[in-house]
Amino acid sequence: MDRLAIYDGGGKVVNGLKIKLEASKKTIRLGDNVTFTTVLSNMTDKPMNVQVGYTTCGNYFGCGSSLRVLKDGKPVPGQWRVGICGTGAGPIYVTIPARSFVKYTTNGTFTREDGNTVYKVGKFIAFKVPENGTHQFVVSHRGDAKTNERYARLYAQKGQAVKANGALITPEVMGQGVPPADLKAPYWAGKVESNTIEIKVVE
């Protein structure tokens, strides 16, 4: 089933990675909750390691930091409402099996705030949108080759990865991020965007 699901919609494939964005509702009223689902598909015949977050802010696709609202055709990130300290932090990686996918959800509410209509993702991120009309959202993601190289070398020098709190990690690299399950898989790098999702706000 996974091998068929990866071909269903989404944005352009970049270096073997494709992102598909889905929304639980397409027409909403103020006060409605909307869940965005982001699907990362590995379109290659080999497993792929992808950075999906950072230990300070968590998963990019779960906290909403990778979500963008289109304004004049350009993707604009949401506004962070808290400060984040990066001391001792590191990237979070996952291994996506060949011809398979992983998915993450972002939950939020369309509401009024300080005279503006906003899509609030938890307590941390908010997107300003026009009060009424149709609004476009995409997911934008970047993988940095230098970061990948640095941490791949670090993880390779450490001991055998073990399970800890549901994540695959080595005790020696606590504070150095979360290693992928397959340390030998290639690391993805590039910039990729999902398909566009339209949300209509009505009276």
Give the integer Cα–Cα distance in Å for 160 and 171: 9
Cα(143)–Cα(91) distance, integer angstroms? 11
Q: Is residue 164's pLDDT more than 50?
A: no
* Mean pLDDT to the nearest integer, 142-151: 94
How confident is the model over 53-97, as pLDDT tens digits? Answer: 998 888 999 999 999 999 888 999 998 876 555 556 789 999 999
Query: Which pTM was predicted?
Result: 0.88
Q: Which residues have CB under 8 Å from 150's CB, separation 6+?
A: none
pLDDT-derived band at 131, boundaries 50, 70, 90: low
Neighbour-count burial for 155-178, b at 16+ CB within 10 Å, e otherwise = beeeeebeeeeeebbbeebeebbb
The model's confidence at residue 106, banded by pLDDT at 50, 70 and 90, is very high
Task: Provide the pLDDT for residue 192.
Answer: 98
Higher-scoring residue by pLDDT: 122, 24: 24
Provide the pairing of β-strand 125-129 with 116-121. Answer: antiparallel
169/171 Cα distance (integer angstroms): 7
Mean per-residue pLDDT over the chain, rounded = 86
- Alpha-carbon distance of 65 to 169, in angstroms, equals 24
Q: Domains of the chain, with CATH numbers?
A: 2-144+186-202 (2.60.40.3880)
- The residue ranking higher by pLDDT, 143 or 125, is 143
